[in-house]
Amino acid sequence: MWTRAPAIAVAAIAMLFAGGCATIPEDALVLSPESMQLRQMQTRRIDGISEKALLTAAAGVVQDLGFNIDESETKLGVIVASKDRSAFNAAQIAGAVAAALFGVYTPVDKTQKIRASIVTRPALNSDGAPIPDSQLIRITIQRIVWNTENQVTRIEAIEEPLIYQEFFERLSKSIFLEVQQI
Amino acid sequence: MRRNGRVLMALLCLGVVGGCAPSTDAVLETGKSAVALRSFQQRAFDTADVEKTLRTVISTLQDLSFVIDKADLDLGTVSATKLSGYQVRMTVTVRPRGTTQVLVRANAQYMDKAIEDPKPYQDFFVALEKAMFLTAHQVD
- Identify which of B11, B58, B108 has the shortest CB distance to residue A9: B11
Domains and CATH numbers, chain A: 27-179 (3.30.310.80)
pLDDT of residue A18: 47
Is residue B21 very low, low, confident or very high in pLDDT (cuts 50, 70, 90)?
A: confident
User: What do you get for the CA distance between the two ends of chain A, in Å?
Assistant: 73
For the cut 70, the answer to whether the pLDDT of residue A13 exceeds it is: no
- Which residues from A are below 8 Å from B4, CB to CB? 2-3, 5-6
- Which residues from B are below 8 Å from A42, CB to CB? 62
DSSP string, B7-48: HHHHHHHHHHHHHHS-GGGGGG--SS-HHHHHHHHEEEES--
Residue B108 lies in a domain: yes
What value of ipTM does the predicted structure carry? 0.82
Q: Give dist(CA B78, CA B93) in Å, integer.
A: 6
- Which residues from B are below 8 Å from A35, CB to CB? 63-65
Instruction: Render pLDDT for B93-126 as a digit per residue (tens, 0 to 9).
Output: 999 999 999 999 999 999 889 999 999 999 999 9
Overall number of domains in chain B: 1
Q: Which residue of A has its CA nearest to B55?
A: A76
For chains A and B, CB pairs below 8 A equal 130
- Identify which of A12, A22, A140 has the shortest CB distance to residue B67: A140
Residue B130 lies in a domain: yes
Q: Which range (A26-30, A148-152, A177-181, B11-15) has the least confidence? A: B11-15
Residue B12 lies in a domain: no
| pLDDT, chain A, mean | 87
- Which residues from B are below 8 Å from A138, CB to CB? 59, 62
For the cut 80, the answer to whether the pLDDT of residue B67 exceeds it is: yes
Domain of residue B54, residue span: 33-138
Contact between chains at B64 and A75 (C-beta distance less than 8 A)? no
For the cut 70, the answer to whether the pLDDT of residue A83 exceeds it is: yes
CATH number of domain containing B62 = 3.30.530.50
For the cut 90, the answer to whether the pLDDT of residue A50 exceeds it is: yes
Q: Give dist(CA B82, CA A140) in Å, integer.
A: 10
- Which residues from B are below 8 Å from A26, CB to CB? 119
Residue B8 lies in a domain: no
Contact between chains at A6 and B4 (C-beta distance less than 8 A)? yes
pLDDT of residue A17: 45
Quote the minimal CA–CA distance from B86 to chain A in Å.
7
Q: Which residue of A has its CA nearest to B1?
A: A2
Residue B97 lies in a domain: yes
What are the beta bridge partners of residue A79? A72, A118
For chain A, the three-class secondary structure string (H helix, E strand, C coil) is CHHHHHHHHHHHHHHHHHHHHCCCCCCCCCCCCCHHHHHHHHEEEEECCCHHHHHHHHHHHHHHCCCEEEEEEHHHCEEEEEEEEECCCHHHHHHHHHHHHCCCCCCCEEEEEEEEEEEEEEEECCCCCEEEEEEEEEEEEEEEEEECCCCEEEEEECCCHHHHHHHHHHHHHHHHHHHCCC
What is the H or E stretch that residue B108 is in? strand B101-110
pLDDT of residue A95: 85
Contact between chains at A155 and B51 (C-beta distance less than 8 A)? no
- Which residues from A are below 8 Å from B113, CB to CB? 22
pLDDT of residue B12: 58
Is residue B11 very low, low, confident or very high in pLDDT (cuts 50, 70, 90)?
A: low
For the cut 70, the answer to whether the pLDDT of residue A181 exceeds it is: no
Residue B16 lies in a domain: no
Neighbour tally for A145: CB within 10 Å:
19
The DSSP code for B66 is -
- Identify which of B71, B81, B83 has the shortest CB distance to residue A78: B71
Instruction: Render pLDDT for A30-46 as a digit per residue (tens, 0 to 9).
Output: 999 999 999 999 999 99
